[in-house]
Amino acid sequence: MAPPAEKPDYSSFNNWLFKSEGASRIEKGYDFKFSIEDLEACKDQTTSWDGVRNYEARNFMKDYMKVGDEAFFYHSNVKIPGIVGLVEVTKESHPDPTQFDKKSYYYDARATVDNPKWFLVDVKLKRKLKRCISLEELKHWQKVHSMTQGPLSELRLIKRSRLSVIPISKEEWDFICSLEDQESVIDG
């Protein structure tokens, strides 16, 4: 019998990616849209990153994120999904109040104030990117880097595409940031 796989340690990570739906998607009367423009319109361009209901994504926020960590703001559910901005964590994890609100889409009857199940962090917009770094472009670089052992060879955005909160290594962060000032390798 093989030993259990060692749990990765993300305590040294200071960079993340937050996925948000950049266009409307209505489900049971709830619109999931939250674009970078919506964040820009928030008071002090700051908001709580609520509604995360995946345990792995929740644990990244709850156990590893620190004030000052930076993250990419990623638009999904749009014509060209991709990274459109940078945000900074301004408040470490605290219980997500939507889990206690019976009128909320995110209500969780199992959660109590004494035993919350879901957590969030607060984020502030640092800036919009000069251009969208598209998912298609990131897939291109991940494919190239998987053959050359480059910085995006293990990019979790591609390998764990269903997660809404994703750790980004320093090497991945630096490479992706460098793309902003380059023309996209993808036509269109």
This prediction's pTM: 0.93
Q: Which domain holds residue 104?
A: 15-179
Q: Is residue 2 included in any domain, yes or no?
A: no
Tally of domains in the chain: 1
Residue 113 belongs to some domain of the structure: yes
CA distance 125 to 159: 26
- By residue count, the chain amounts to 188
Nearest to residue 120, comparing CAs of 38, 31, 54? 54
pLDDT of 166 reads 96
Read off the pLDDT of residues 121-150 as tens digits, 9 standing for 90 and up. 999 999 999 999 999 999 999 999 999 999
CATH of the domain at 165: 3.10.590.10
Q: Is 102 part of a structural domain of the chain?
A: yes
Tell me whether residue 138 is in a domain: yes
Is 6 part of a structural domain of the chain?
no
The Cβ of residue 34 has, within 10 Å, a number of other Cβ atoms equal to 19
Name the DSSP class of 184.
-
Q: Are 84 and 7 in contact (CB under 8 A)?
A: no
